[in-house]
Structures are given as C-alpha cells and as structure tokens.
Structure 1
Amino acid sequence: MAETRNLGTKNFFCVCIFTITLYHAVLTSAENRYVADYSKQSLDAVPKILPAQTEVLDLSQNNISEFGTSDFNYLSQLRILKVAHNFIRELNFSIFQYNKNLEYIDLSHNKLWTVSCHPVTSLRHLNLSYNEFQSMPMCSEFGKMVKLEYLALSAIRIQKSDFSVLALLQLDTLFLGLEDLSEYKAENLSAFNTKNLQIALPQNEEFHIVLNLDLSTTGGLELSNMQDNHVSDLNTLLRKLDKNGRLRNLTLSHVKTTLRNILDVFQNVWRTTIEYFDIYYMALSHLSQSITIPDYAENSLKSLMINHVMSKEIEFDQAKIYKLFADMNISALTISNAHFIHMLCPSKPSRFTYLSFPFNTITDNLFEKCNNLSLLEKLILHANQFKEFTKVSLMTSHMKSLKYLDMSQNLLHHEDHEKGCHWGENLAELNLSSNQLSDSVFHCLPVNIQKLDLQNNQISSIPKEIVELKALEELNLALNRLTDLPQCGQFRSLRLLNMEMNSIAAPSSEFYHTCPSIKEVKAENNPFRCSCEIREFIDLRKQGLVVLVGWPESYQCKYPEEVRGIRLENFHISELVCNSTLLVAVILVITVVFAAIVCFLCIYLDIPWYLKMMRQWTQVKHRIWKNPADVPDDIEFHAFISYSEHDSDWVKNVLIPNLEKEDGSIRICQHERNFIAGKSIVENIIDCIEKSYRSIFVLSPNFVQSEWCHYELYFAHHKLFRENTSSLILLLLEPIPPYIIPAKYYKLKALMAKRTYMEWPAETSKHGLFWANLRAAIHVSLPRSNEINELEI
C-alpha cells in the first residue's frame, strides 16, 4: 500500500513541481531568517531545544509518531513546518493556535487517520496527502482558512458531500491523490473553486472520476495514472466542454492507451478552449492501426508538449505519425524522448514559431529544403544524431525568422575544406556545445550571431582569418583546449566571454588591447602560471575593467610548484622583477646613491687615510716577513728622532711615550738624553743616526726653519744612499706649504715628493692606527738589546 502511494506521488510529478516551487519561494523569502533542519536524523519526537526565533523547521524523514501539546507553542515566529515521511497517526490543529505566522504545513506520507480541526487562519499551504484517511479529512473549520492557496488530500472513500467545504475557499491548487480509492459514491463531484485541479486517478478503472468533473471554475487540469477507460472518459468530458469554458491548461501524466484514443484526445482538444496541452510518460499501443489525421481547423491550442513516449511496436506508418505533428496548426510543438528519427516539413506554410525535438535520433536530413517554416523563431534539436555542420546551416537558410538554434550534444563536425555555409539571416543565438567541432568552425558561422555557445568541443585556438562577427556579444568557449584568451579583432562588440576549464596558463596582453568592450569574463579552473604575465590579468579586476565570474575561489595558481593552490588574489610579484627597464633604472639609481654615500663617508670619515695607513702597515709587515732585517751589531736604538725645538712638547709628551712602552721593546734616541757631552753636535748627530735602525723626522713649518734639522736630514739621507736601506721615516706633524720650504732644502722637497710619509691625524679616533703603523715600521730585534736591558736593570 505504501509503495503504491509513493509511486503515485512520484508519477504525479506536477504536484511535486508545484510543491517544491512554492516551498522554494517561501524559503527564499525567508533566506535571511532562522532555519532549523532536523531531517533524516532518526528522531522519534520533536526536539525540545529549538530556538524561539525559528521560522523554518524541517522534521521530514524521521520516526516521529505524535505531537505534544507544547511542541510548537513557544515557536511564535514559525512560518514553515515540514513533517513529511514520519509515523504520525493523529493530529489536532489546536497545537498550532499560538503559531500566528504559520503559512506552510507538509504532513504527507504519514499514518494519519483522523484530524481534529482548529482554524489556522494564516495557513497558505496544507498537504495531508498519502496518509491513512478512510474518508476525505474535511472539517468545517477549513472554510475559515481564507488564505489557503494549496490543499493536498487523499482518501480511500469519496462521497459527494466531502467537498462542500471547499466551496468557501478560493484555492489556487487542489491535489487529490486517489490511487488507492476503493469506494466512490458520488454521482457528480461539486465544482471545485480552484484555479488548478490535480488528480492522481485510481487504479480501479470502474470509477469514472473524470466523467463527474465539473470544470466550470477550473483553469488548469492535471490528470495522472491514466488507463484506457480514463482516456475514454476524458474524451467524453472534452466533448461536453462549453466553448466559453475557463479551462486553458491540460496536463496528462503516465498515460497507457492506444494511438487511436490519443488521436481522439487531440481532435477533442482542438474543439475546446484549451491553449496548452502537455503529456508526460505516455505508453502507446496499436500503432499499426489505421489512423485518420485530425482536422486542424481554427482552434485555441497554442502549445503541445509530449515528453517521453514508449512503445514496444516497431512496425507502423511512421510517415503518417510525422505528418500528424508536422501539419498541426499551433505555435509551439515539443516532442522529447520519443525515439523520433525524422520530422516532415509542413505541407503548407506553418504557424510554428517554436519547435523542440530533444533526446531523439533525428539526423541531418531534417527539414531539408523546407520553405514552410518561415515563421519559426526558435528551434531546439538538443541530443540527436546530427553530424554535418554545413547541412545544419543549409537547413536554417530557409527559416527567415529563426533567431535561436540549439544543436548541443550532437555529433557535429566541420572540416576546413568544407564550403557552402548558408545560415538564416536573422539567427542571433546559436548553441553548439558538446559536439566534435574544431578550430575550423569559425570559418562557418552566422555573420549576425549575437550569442554563441561552443562549450565542450575540441577547439584549440581561434583562427585570425575569419569573417568579422560584428554583432557577437556573448561567447562561450568553456571546456575546450584553448591555451590563451582570444583576441577580439573579429568580434569587437564582445561583452561576455566564458573560458573556464581550458588550458590557459598565462593570458597574453593582446586580449586586453583588442577587447575594449569586454565587461565579464569567466576563466575559472584554468591551470594558471603565476609569474609576471599573470599580473595584467589580475589587474583587470582590480582596475574594475571587467568582472571575473567566480573570483576569487576558482582562480588559483597551478604553476610553478611552490605557489600551487594559492589564489590569484593572494599572489604578489614586484613590479621591479617584471619590468626590465625599471630594474635597470633602479640599479643605476642605487649605484649612484651608493657611490654618493661611499664618497660622503670617505670624506666624512677620512677613509682614504685609514686605507693608506693600513696599506703602509701591511707593506711593512710583508717586507719584514719576506726579507727579515739583517741588523748590524752596532745598532743600539730603534729610531732616532729629529724635530724642531718648537715641536719638542709634542715629541716628548706624545710621540716618545707612545713609542717607548713599559716593556722596553722600543728604544728611542733623543738628542737631549742621548747626545754625549764633549762631542760636537755634528758628531753626536752622525753617531746617533749610525746607531739607530730608523731615523724619524717630525716635519712641520718649524722643521724647515731649523738649521740643525737640516743637518740631521742631510746625514740621514746620506746613510739612506750609502746603505741602500729604507731607514728614513717622514712624519708630517703639520702641513708644510711648498712655498715656505727654502730652496736650499731641495733634499727635503725631493724626499716628500718621492717617499711616502706618515701624517699625524688630528682626530683622536685615528691615533691608534697611526701608532700601530709607526711601531711596525721601526720594530726590530736589536743585537744588543738584551745586554742594554741587563745593564739598565
């Protein structure tokens, strides 16, 4: 029993569509409100922890068997309640008396057998279908639910008085699930005050429900589970319909009948006020019977849709079937999943503006040289067996009004050498997705096309030598083999470009320069290479030039490996790295600035002086290491100091103390303490110079004015030439302008010009290096130093 009910509900899909649509509409309006979803949780009772602000409560597909009196009274904001597919047996509507905003209740597919009524005046949608009601659960209180728009009921028994309450309501849709009907005592059903009546007919064909319908107030009728007798009853009902009736929509679902019966339905529908006729899941028999084409005279019918036709018979007059539909005097025809392999061209100019034949096996010869479809605006041939692209174009060349063509999911291909593409001149939208088209398709496209869908083909590039598509605004190239964004030289009006799921690693700059009209780009899920080239693509969005659909979630780095998975919005690379001109300029600027800083520091810190002193110190140490000094035995002093009396304070208080340390490692010969009394000054000078390893001359303006200093310099210079040694050290205490040196001191001028001299630094920070350099220049092991030290001790 339950399986039969479930099957009936699934079969009557229109009910599901309406219910889902209404529920979605209500739910969408409450999308920012509180939703509590407890479906499929194996609950056996309504949760007690629901927030008081709950507006949408879903308890469907659980094990709840009853409602407590206080389960919902605290949910004052509750608007939608779904409790379908549970085990509830009894319901008292008084439990909802505190839910003043309750609009939607779905209690279908439970175990309900009794209902205690209480008016829920705010209710718009109530579904009590597919329970265990013996009779229709109609209460007088239902007449007070003046806002009720949708009502779904089912029962095992029907009496004429069951629906009297409905006369008080203004329903939009009434659904009656009568698959399990076992007792029917109503000779005539009352006129339901509803715009749309949906009935799942009983399996028992003896109940003539359809014959007893009063459709004087009904605009739409939907019947499912139709057997032969039901179809016969429908034909009888249609023949009785008033030409001034309100019925505009007729839908039949899950129909099992003969071809002759369904043709009678067509003939009778043509004579009524019905404008839209839909048939879903039709199983036909006796196709080989002789049939008569109905008279398609003037009628009200605008649209016929047949979806999913089944038949076990394979031998019948197909041409007559095709002619049956081809010559229909209607505006829109849809035949889907009917195993059609062809469709004839109408025998005379047709009213068709819309034709749809998806999911059949129609081939390239459709409408070949057909001139009677001049009013056709929309043609849908999705999922068929078309192969030759040029034949498709020739088919449309006679359709002067055609604006939309859907050839998706076929086997279309086009070769470069193929010629003869002739499209309808008004074709503006073309869907060629999911075919086998390659780059050559761009040589065979309608010149006035505005929207072009080439998704899921084998396109690797867009040839440059193609006809300019001046009107093209939308281009879909998703799921192809493209490695770059296209240039827009041939379609400069392009606004929307879809390039998702291709092989684009680094979009080239030509795209940005040639596509000025682009406003929206879909380039999601491509293997982007995050390098300098990708920066311009990212900047498109930052500058607001285009909208990148799916940004930022679907735009990630694929290469190189170290940045794989990073979103493009988080990838940063310096302008300096990518711009070689800027890099060279920056390097030059840094070099100039660095050189300026070095020069400034050299001047400010006197770095050349330090370098000069370090070089001198290094040269001395290297010379000593490479050529150890052979000191004569008669050398007693490390250095003889020659200076002017005016510089004696500096010599005595600064020079000598810093050279002669307490360890006695350096001995200085000074005339005041080492000249021997009784000898002449000249003899003492010569003697000291001869006994000293080095001679230090403290040069200053005072030095050049001293006669004795001149003598000392003369004798030291004479020793320098005689012994060919580097015994002379010039120490510049103060700068000596060349013009103050007397002409007779030509030896001094020559020495200062040729020999490196040491300058006494004014800065205290330089003194340490100066003393280290000077001590290194005069330090040597004297032969008699030990003896002298012992005597002094």
Structure 2
Amino acid sequence: MATLTLQLLSLTVVLGAVQLICGYSYKNCIEDQYSRRTSFNCVRRKEQNLSAIINDLPPSVISLTICINPVWNIPNHSFVNLSNLQNLRIDHNNVRVIGQFAFQNLHQLKSLNLSYNHISELNPSVFSDLRNLTFLSLTHNKLMQLPEGIFSSLLNLDTLIMRQNFLTNFSAIADSVSRLSNLKKLDLCFNNLTSLSHSNVSLPKSLTVLYLCRNNLSTLGCKHFFLGNIHVLDLSYNSRLSTMAFQGVDLRQINYLRLRSTSVNIVEFLNKSNVNANHVDFSDTGLKNESLLTKLCKLLKTKVQRTKNLNLNANGIKNLTNTLSHCPDIIGAVTLSQNQLKTISCLSFLKRQTSIKSFSAEHNHLTSLQSCKMQKMVYFKSLEELSYRYNRILSVSYYAFYHTPNIKTLKLNINTIAFLHRKALKGLKRLETLRLDNNLLTDLFNETFEDNFNLRILNLRNNRISVIFNGTFLRLRKLNTLDLGGNKITQIQPSGLAGLTSLSKFYLDGNNLKHIDTSLYHAFQGTLTVLDLQSNQISFLDENINSPFMNLSKLSDLKMDGQRPYGLTVLPHTLFRGLHSLKSLYLTNNKIFHIAPDTFDDLTGLHFLSLDNCCVGVANLQPGIFKNLRNLTKLTAENMGIQNFSKEVFGNLTALCILQLNRNVMQSIQVNALEHLPKLHYLDIRNIPLSCTCKNNLLQNWTRYNSKVQIVYLYNLSCKQDAEHKFYNFDTNVCYIDLGEYLFFSTAAVIFLFTVIPLLYVKLYWKMKYSYYVFRSWFSEQWRKLREEEENCKYDAFISYNSSDEQWVMDQLLPNLEGKGSSFKLCLHHRDFELGRDIVDNIVSAVYSSRKTICVVSQNFLQSEWCSLEIQLASYRLFDEHRDILLLVFLEPISERQLSSYHRMRKVMLKKTYLQWPGSDCTNPRQAQDLFWNQLHRAMRTGSRLTTDENNKSEGCVNTESKESRHIETTDESYYLLP
C-alpha cells in the first residue's frame, strides 16, 4: 500500500511539473519537424540518466527514439508520464539493466526496440503492462536464457526478434511464446541453438515465419507437427545440419525454405521430405557442377510439371550448357547470381525455358556481352527483366539483346563497360528502364537509343561522358527520368536534348558545365519538374542575364548547390525569373557575395529554400529579400554569416514553419521579427554567439515561455561570454523596470511638488527671488564691480523706504544726516539710482556701495516687494558676510503679531538694537528726537566688520575714529531705543 501511494505521489508530481512547463523546448530531445508534439528523437546525447533525457517531454508523445546514448539503466517508472506512447526505440545504447516496472503504464505501446544494447538478463514481469505490444526487438544483446513467462502478457505480439544473442535453450523459447496467439514472425538467427527439441508445448498456430539462420543446429529434434504451420523457414548457415535432421518432420505447409550453407544433400532431402520442391531456395546448396544440377532438375520434373522460380545463387557454378533444359517449365525467375559464370552465351543454356520472365546473373565474372543476332537463335519473348549487375563487363556488342526483344527492365550498372556499340540496344522496343550507371562510357550516339522509344527511365550516372551530341535522345519522347549525374559533361550541343518532350526529372549534377545551356529554354517546355545542377562549374559574371529557366513553367525542384571551385560568387537577380511553380530551391555550399533584394521575387510558390554555407563571411541580407515567399514553409540558413535577424528581412515569411539558423554570427535576435512568423513551430539557433545581456532579455523570455515554437536544445545554448552559463537562465533582473513602482514614485513626486510649491511660494517667495538675483550677480562682471565699489564705499548709507514715507525722509532724515554740519553721504532712490538701468541692479549696487543700509520701517514698508528685497540683501550681508551694515528705523509702532510673518526682519531685530522714531505723543518730543538723531549718528559711525579682535584695524569702509560695540547701549530714555 505504501509503495502504491508513493507511486501515485510521484506520478502527481511529474504531471504537475509538466503542466507548469510553458515553453516548447527540450533539454535532450528534438521533436520531429511536422509531428505536432507526438514524435521525438533523443539521439547522440551525453546524458547517462534516462530520466534526465525524457523528463521534460509532454504526455502527448506517441513515438520516441532514444539512440546512441551512454544510457545503461532503464529504471522503474521511467515512462510513467508518457502513457500515450505507441512506438519506443531504445536501441544502440549501453543498456544493461532494466527495472521490473520500467515500462509500467505503457498500455498503448505497440512497438518496442531494445536492440544493440548489453542486456544479459530480463525480469519475468518487465513486459507485463505492454498488453498492446505488437513488435518487440531484442537484437544484438547478451541474453543467454529467457525467464519463464516473460512474454505471457504480450497477447497481441505479432513480431518477436531475438537474433544475435546467446540463447541455447529452444524449449524455453518455445514455451515463452506458446501462448502468443497472434505471433506471426519469430527471428532467432545468430544464436547458439543446437536443436529444436522441446517439451509438450507447441508453437502458436499463428506463427508462419521462423528464422533460425546462423545457429549451431545439427538436428531439428522436434515432433512431427511442430513446424506444421510454418510458411517461411530459414535454416541457412547451420553448417552441421544434415539431411537426416528432417526425418519425420512435416514441411508440407512451407512456402519458402532456405538451406544455404548447410550439410543437407538437396537431392536426398527432396526425396525424403514432404516439402513442396517449388518452395525450396537452392541457393548455396552445393550444386557446383552440371551433373548435380541435372539430377536436381530431373528430380524436380518428377515432382512438379512447372515451377515458378529457380534460385541457384552462390553455388559456385562456372559453366552451363543444356543443364536447365531438364528442369520443369520455369514461368517465373531464374537467378544465377553470386556464381562464377564467365559467359552466358545469349542464354543458350535456357533454350527450353522460353517462358521465364526474369533472369539475373549478378555478381559473376562476365567480361562481355556478345552479339546475339545469328541463325538458330533462341528467343525469350516472355522475358521482361534482365540483370547483369556487379560483373566485369567491358564491352557490349551490337544486337547483344536481340534474343530478348520484349524486356522492359535492363540492368547493366556497376560494371566496367567502356564500349557500348551503337546498335547494342537495337530491337529493345519495349524497354522502359535502362540502368547503365557506374560504368566507363565516354560517348553516346544518336543511334544508341533509336529503338528504345518506350524508355521511361534512363540512368547514365557516374560514367565518363563529356559531350551530349545532337540527336542523342531524339527518339526518347516518352522518357520521364534522365540521370546524367557524375559524368564529365562540359557541353550539350544545341539539339542534344531534342526529343525529350516528356522529360520530368533531369539530373546533371557532378559534371563540368560552366553555364546553363540555352537548350533548356526550349527542350522542356511544360514538362520538367526536377532539375539537378549541383556540383558543376557554373558561374556568372553579370547580375543581369536572361533567365535560362524562363520556359520551365512546371519546374518544382531546382538544385544549384556546391558549384566548383568557388561556387556561385555572383547570383544574378534575374536568374530565377519565371519559376512561379518552383517548390524547392537548393543553393547550399556556394560563395555568393551578394543576394539582391529582388532575386527571389518570382518564386511565389516556393515551399523549401536551402541557403546553408552559401555566403562568404558576413551575409548582409537586404530588407525585402523574402517579401514574395509567402508560401515558404522551411528555410535552412545555416552557417551563412547572418549578423542581423530583423522583421524587415524575415517578416514576410508568414507561412514559415521550420527555420534553421544554427552556426550564424548574430549576437541577438529581434523578438518582434519572430512574432511576425505566425506559423513558426521549429527554430534551430544552435552554435550562435548569443550574448547574455539586456539586449536579449526579451529573446530569453520568448524562448522560455512561448508555447508554439520548439527551440532546439534551448537548455544547452551557452552564453557567448561564458560557455559555462546558459542562455535560458542568465540574470535579467537588472534589465527590467517595475512599471508599477515607477508610476507610484512618479505620481508621488508630482503630488509632492504640487503640494510643496504653493507653500514655498507663500513662505519663501522673496528668499528665492533674492537668491536668484544674488546668484545672477555672483556670476557676472557686475558682482566683481560691486565688490570693488564696496571697498571704496561710495555712500555712507543706503536709505530703503516706501514712497509713502518719502516726506519724512526728505524733511527729517536727509537734513539731519547730510545737513547741519553732518558729513554723511546718502543714497536715495530718486536721486542716486542710474537712469535706464535695471531696478534690481540699482538696488544691489546701492546696498553694496554703501557702508550702511537704513531701513525706514512702516506699515507701507512691510507691504512693499522692493523694500522686502532691499532688506533681504542687507540681511544677507549681515548674516552671511558678517558685515554690520543694517540699521532699522521704525516710524510707527508695529505689534509682534504684525511682524510674525516677516521672519527675516524678526531675526534681525533679535540680533540687533533698532531705533524707534518718537512720535508727537511723547512727553518731550524735541528732546526725544535729539536723542534719536544722536543715536543714529553714533550707529552710522560704527564699523561694518563683525569681529571680537580688539586689535583689529579698520578696513573697507570702517570709521577709523571709533571702534564701538555693535550694540547701542540703552539709557534712561530706553523707550526710544528698543532692544
């Protein structure tokens, strides 16, 4: 119970983890390009842990291939998340151990391939959950025995392959498969079986194919009816197997029996067994001479009147005369491949077998095909297929096939034919397929194919043909496929392709063509669909040419990749004009310097474009280069040197599904360019030096969380700066601004300013205004002049007053300070300010060119802006420059409440003694006024420097006659002098 709970918990965790995955990329697997998350390949990975390879695959997987990996263990519950699997390959790995529950939950699995591993032992219940399995391969492992009941649950198994193991006990094998009622094929080749002895079990009635080749069988040792349902039995390469081994074994149901390389005497075997002689393959059964063949044929004739096929391959036959004439009528194929025949003598040894339809003498020692146009020639009018492949034929004489006028397929490929007579193929009017590839032919003539007007396929690949002469193919009006690849063609004469009015596929790759022949203009109008020109020497010197493909209106596949020696360095922008039906274009492995923006304009039907390795250095793809490729579904642009990926270049590829960009040089990819590819589902950007910087933060986010595009091996992509760090998880926190936080602080700042500014305006308006003027003066030449004027002290006092108090200033202040024997010089607004000068500059100049500033304070003074500025300037010199220049004279009593809002003035009053003008309500106004003027005179004569140094000498505008305290002492009449 605890184990079941743990399993369910692990399943829940795995499923939960899968649901959290938003991206569409996998660490160790690649989804098949058109599978829609159902088929995956995990090949050549360095991961030993199987779970690490497949743990990020979606539950929708149907087909999974795990090949060529160092995986050694398949642990329990490995595929618990992949319950929809139907096809599973874990071949060519290092698997040694398979857990008992490794394949648990795979109820839908139909095919399991565990071949080419190191499995030596299997748990009896390892396949217990695979109830729907139909195919199982354990090829090339180290199995020595099978556990009892290992296949008991595989009731739907159709094919079981266990070849290339070390199995020795056939009885255990028979017992393990006896209950498989649907098993049809059992392959036990390459094991160590010595017999087919068994207990009372029987093979399934459904089993019809049994392969037992390359074992150590010396006897069958099975019961009479044990092989009663077998139709195909292969006992080849059991060298110890003798004729007596078949004694008492029922072989009546056999449709095909192979006994190659055994010790069975085939004639004796046919006499003693009940096998149908027509169903025995006589290849490699020791029939080395004509006497043995004659015995066989005579025996066959006693058993059957006619036979379909006679296979005599690999018997070491060197010569045949009339031997096969003793055989029953052969209505099918005669195969004499892998023998030592040196001549076939126009098939004269088959003179009574004129009904055969196929003859093959491949892998023999034939050196020539002689002429067969002679008297008393045997004609094989039923023969349709003739093959002499893999021989040493040097020459083919005239009328070499005159005796086989109705053949449809002739295979002369993979020989050394250097001479093909002009009339060698004469008379073959029904020939449809001719294979002459991989020979040494140098010339073709207009008579060569003149009788082959029904030819559909002509293969001349890999010869030494250099020129296609006029009229060579003139009669081949039904030819569909012409393969001239791998030759040395440098020239096609003007009428060399004439007559090919039905040609659909034309292969000219691997030749020495230096230009595209003009004959293409007219030869294939409306017929050609495939044209292969790759690996020639085609080049262009001009970007403006007349397109050689203009009339190829049905061309769908064009290959021009790998031109020698330097490739298509110049790609004319008019080269592909007229190819509106082209579906595939290959330009791989060229060295193109420039691709014009209108090069692909006419390729409106293109589905596939390959540009791999096609450019030199950095490829600067121009905006609009793909503007008309709206049907393109696959673009391979690997190792092109692409530096920038932008929507201006790739944005019009609206139907693109697959994009391969690996091994380019761009350091970043614009996400908006990828978002302009709405159907993209496969993106390969491996081996690109993507920088792990903020310019790729959007790309990282897009690759990790998009749910439509598979990024091939995203989690293995390294950072350009440091290969140990991965692109998918480099730190991007510094790249983002929290928009909510940004808006909060911005809004708070605005609200704060709108709240504080009015308060500052009300409370500090003059201080700020004053500061503005001070700083304006400070950095101007005027400031320097004012400082110099201060040292000379042009005035003894600057009188700051309101115009409503001007009468008192003129009637009282001015006569008492400048008249009556006084020597003071005063600065007054109306008298001493410079005409035409800014009033603020006049005020600043007056304050700084006077030893003292006398402020005549009244109610009107307090309400005046200019007076406020003047007292601000004076108080600045008092507090900031430490100069005792400010004298306050109150013309009228002002209450504390009225002064509460004038902070600067209250600060001055707290620091200094001020004078109060005695009004008419005084007891003795005359005496009070005299005292007032006496105190003012006395204050005017004090120095302007605030210092405690008793020995300090006078400087600047300081009166040198007296150095009195900066405070005026009070007297009995102190109500005139208010502290």
Q: TM-score range by the shorter chain?
A: 0.5 to 0.7
Q: Secondary structure at the match of 1:679?
A: helix
- Aligned residue number for residue 652 of structure 1: none
1:295 aligned to which of 356, 378, 382? 378
Q: 1:477 deviation in Å?
A: 1.7
Q: 1:404 deviation in Å?
A: 0.7
- Aligned residue number for residue 343 of structure 2: 259
Q: Secondary structure at the match of 1:232?
A: helix
What amino acid is the match of 2:437?
A: P
Q: 1:634 deviation in Å?
A: 6.0
Point out the more displaced range, 502-511 or 783-792.
783-792
Distance 1:249 1:372, change over 3 A: same
1:58 aligned to which of 114, 120, 129? 114
What amino acid is the match of 1:52?
A: Q
Distance 1:352 1:728, change over 3 A: closer
Q: Distance in 1 between matches of 2:223 and 2:351?
A: 34
Q: 1:278 deviation in Å?
A: 4.7
Q: 1:227 deviation in Å?
A: 5.8
Q: 1:156 deviation in Å?
A: 4.6
- Aligned residue number for residue 10 of structure 2: none
Q: 1:432 deviation in Å?
A: 1.3
Q: Distance in 1 between matches of 2:661 and 2:430?
A: 48
Q: Distance in 1 between matches of 2:204 and 2:581?
A: 59
Q: Distance in 1 between matches of 2:800 and 2:306?
A: 142
- Aligned residue number for residue 115 of structure 1: 171
What amino acid is the match of 2:497?
A: H
Task: Answer yes or no: is 1:482 the counterpart of 2:568.
Answer: yes
- Aligned residue number for residue 509 of structure 1: 597
Alignment RMSD (CA, Å):
5.7
- Aligned residue number for residue 168 of structure 1: 229
Q: Distance in 1 between matches of 2:191 and 2:162?
A: 8
Q: Secondary structure at the match of 1:115?
A: helix
Q: 1:474 deviation in Å?
A: 1.6
Provide the TM-score with structure 1 as the length reference: 0.63
What amino acid is the match of 1:304?
A: L
* 8 Å CA contact 1:57, 1:78 repeated in 2: no
Distance 1:150 1:257, change over 3 A: same
- Aligned residue number for residue 391 of structure 2: 309
Q: Distance in 2 between matches of 1:308 and 1:364?
A: 22
Q: Secondary structure at the match of 1:50?
A: coil
Task: Answer yes or no: is 1:548 the counterpart of 2:635.
Answer: yes
Distance 1:101 1:188, change over 3 A: closer
Task: Answer yes or no: is 1:335 the counterpart of 2:412.
Answer: yes
* 8 Å CA contact 1:327, 1:350 repeated in 2: no
* 8 Å CA contact 1:235, 1:264 repeated in 2: no
Say which structure is richer in helix.
1
Which sections of structure 1, spanning at least 5 residues, go unmatched? 1-26, 575-603, 649-669, 698-711, 733-758
1:35 aligned to which of 67, 74, 88? 88
1:405 aligned to which of 466, 482, 492? 482
2:554 aligned to which of 442, 465, 471? 471
1:783 aligned to which of 942, 947, 956? 956
- Aligned residue number for residue 99 of structure 1: 154
Q: Distance in 2 between matches of 1:463 and 1:228?
A: 69
Q: Secondary structure at the match of 2:171?
A: strand
Q: Distance in 2 between matches of 1:442 and 1:726?
A: 92
Q: 1:369 deviation in Å?
A: 5.1
Q: 1:76 deviation in Å?
A: 4.8
Q: Secondary structure at the match of 2:206?
A: coil
Q: 1:420 deviation in Å?
A: 4.5
* 8 Å CA contact 1:136, 1:157 repeated in 2: no
Distance 1:148 1:161, change over 3 A: closer
Q: Distance in 2 between matches of 1:351 and 1:94?
A: 58
* 8 Å CA contact 2:364, 2:391 repeated in 1: yes
Task: Answer yes or no: is 1:361 the counterpart of 2:440.
Answer: yes
* 8 Å CA contact 1:500, 1:525 repeated in 2: yes
Q: 1:450 deviation in Å?
A: 2.1
Deviations 1:279-311 (A, max 9, x none): 553345999999999633321x43233432258
Distance 1:354 1:503, change over 3 A: same
Q: 1:83 deviation in Å?
A: 3.7
Q: Secondary structure at the match of 1:452?
A: strand
Distance 1:398 1:544, change over 3 A: closer
* 8 Å CA contact 1:108, 1:131 repeated in 2: yes
Distance 1:634 1:281, change over 3 A: closer
Deviations 1:543-596 (A, max 9, x none): 65554268756324635788895399x99999xxxxxxxxxxxxxxxxxxxxxx
Q: 1:33 deviation in Å?
A: 3.2
Distance 1:633 1:182, change over 3 A: closer
Q: 1:131 deviation in Å?
A: 3.9
Q: 1:427 deviation in Å?
A: 1.6
Say which structure is richer in strand.
1
Q: 1:615 deviation in Å?
A: 12
Q: How does 1:88-487 map to 2 (within 5 A)?
A: 95-109=150-164, 110-112=166-168, 114-116=170-172, 117-118=174-175, 119=178, 120-135=180-195, 144-146=204-206, 148-149=208-209, 151-153=211-213, 156-157=217-218, 165-169=226-230, 171=231, 173-178=232-237, 180-185=239-244, 193=253, 197-202=257-262, 223=283, 228-229=288-289, 232=293, 242=305, 245=308, 248=332, 253-260=337-344, 263=347, 270-272=354-356, 275-278=357-360, 280-284=362-366, 295-299=378-382, 301-309=383-391, 318-320=395-397, 323-324=400-401, 327-344=404-421, 345-365=424-444, 368=447, 370-388=449-467, 390-391=468-469, 394-414=471-491, 419-423=494-498, 424-441=500-517, 444=520, 446-448=523-525, 449-461=528-540, 464-467=545-548, 468=550, 469-480=552-563, 481-482=567-568, 484=571, 487=574
Q: Distance in 2 between matches of 1:560 and 1:478?
A: 24
Deviations 1:307-335 (A, max 9, x none): 32258xx8xxx445981489552111122
* 8 Å CA contact 1:356, 1:380 repeated in 2: yes
Distance 1:276 1:174, change over 3 A: farther
Q: Distance in 1 between matches of 2:338 and 2:171?
A: 31
Distance 1:632 1:406, change over 3 A: closer
Deviations 1:198-249 (A, max 9, x none): 4534478876768999997978968357763499367768988755858756
Q: Secondary structure at the match of 2:577?
A: coil
Q: Distance in 2 between matches of 1:639 and 1:464?
A: 95
Distance 1:53 1:716, change over 3 A: closer
Q: Distance in 1 between matches of 2:532 and 2:696?
A: 34
Deviations 1:660-679 (A, max 9, x none): xxxxxxxxxx9967985582
State the aligned residue count.
637
* 8 Å CA contact 2:224, 2:250 repeated in 1: yes
Provide the TM-score with structure 2 as the length reference: 0.53
Deviations 1:662-716 (A, max 9, x none): xxxxxxxx996798558299979x998x544xx6x5xxxxxxxxxxxxxx25x64
Q: Distance in 2 between matches of 1:672 and 1:225?
A: 150
Q: 1:114 deviation in Å?
A: 4.0
Which sections of structure 2, spanning at least 5 residues, go unmatched? 1-60, 66-84, 310-330, 638-656, 670-684, 699-756, 762-767, 845-863, 886-943, 946-954, 967-979
Q: Secondary structure at the match of 1:105?
A: strand
Q: Distance in 2 between matches of 1:672 and 1:135?
A: 146
Q: Distance in 1 between matches of 2:664 and 2:792?
A: 84
Task: Answer yes or no: is 1:679 the counterpart of 2:798.
Answer: no
- Aligned residue number for residue 688 of structure 2: 566
